[in-house]
Amino acid sequence: MERKDNKLRGSSNGIIGGYQKWLKSRTQEINCLPKLKGLSGKKAEVPEESEEMQALKAELEKTRVVKEKLKMTVTRDRKECDELRDVNMTMDEAIEQETKRARKEEWSRNKFRGALWGNNNELKLRKDERDESRMETMVLEDKLKAYQRVKRSLTE
């Protein structure tokens, strides 16, 4: 089985080959394409470069070198910037985690302080009650001793 593209390629004797021969003869007849004709017939003369042209070419080359150096500098700076951005993001994440931990710790500390304050107040109230109870006990003991003395003195 023969492929279609083999038919399209043709041979030097086929339709396409005939077209190529016609095109070649046709383009040789055309005089309005002097550049193509000049290139095929003779070598084009290269004009000598003036000193100004040579100076401009040297300046252009220097500019290209400067451009390449700047490109390398920009590339290096971009890489450094990307690295710093990565470090900054890592630091931001670490700071955020540390802040969350500190807030939790502060909340726990405040909760504990509140509990301690409440217990401390409770202990103060109990201490005050105990001291009051001791004072009452001492007063009652003094009264009891005084009554016992009076009772003894009356019985005697």
Residue with tokens 């201490």: 127
Evaluate if residue 139 carries a pLDDT over 90. Answer: yes
Domains of the chain: which residue ranges?
A: 1-41, 56-130
d(CA 56, CA 59): 5
Tens of pLDDT, residue by residue over 61-113, are: 999 999 999 999 999 999 999 999 999 999 999 999 999 999 999 999 999 99
pLDDT of residue 42: 54
Tens of pLDDT, residue by residue over 120-134, are: 999 999 999 999 999
Task: Name, in order, each residue with C-beta under 8 angstroms of 49's C-beta and a sequence gap of 6 or more.
Answer: 57
12: closest CA among 24, 4, 2? 24
Torsional class of 73: left (φ above 0), alpha (ψ -120 to 50), beta (otherwise): alpha
Average pLDDT over residues 2-20: 59
Average pLDDT over residues 4-11: 54
Tens of pLDDT, residue by residue over 19-71, are: 777 877 777 776 655 555 455 555 556 667 788 898 999 999 999 999 999 99
Tokens at 113, concatenated: 């302080």
Q: Are the CB atoms for 6 and 14 separated by under 8 Å? A: no
pLDDT of residue 50: 86
d(CA 16, CA 100): 80
Evaluate if residue 18 carries a pLDDT over 90. Answer: no
Average pLDDT over residues 9-24: 66
